[in-house]
Structure 1
Amino acid sequence: MIHITRTLSIPDSEIQEQFIRASGPGGQNVNKVSSAVQLRFDVARSPSLPEAVRARLTVLAGRRINQEGILTIEAQRFRTQGRNRDDARVRLVELIRRATEVPELRRATKPTRASQRRRLESKQKHGDTKKQRRSVGPSDG
Structure 2
Amino acid sequence: MDSLPALQFPLLDKFYRAQRSHMRVARAEVAWVAREQEIIAGVCLTPVAAGHWLTSLLVAPQARQRGVAAALLARVRADTAGPIWLFCHPELEGFYRGRGYQACTALPEDLAKRLERYGRTKSLLAMVNDGEASSRVAS
The TM-score, its normalising length taken from structure 2, stands at 0.22
Higher percent of residues as strand: 2
The TM-score, its normalising length taken from structure 1, stands at 0.22
Q: Which one has the largest radius of gyration?
A: 1
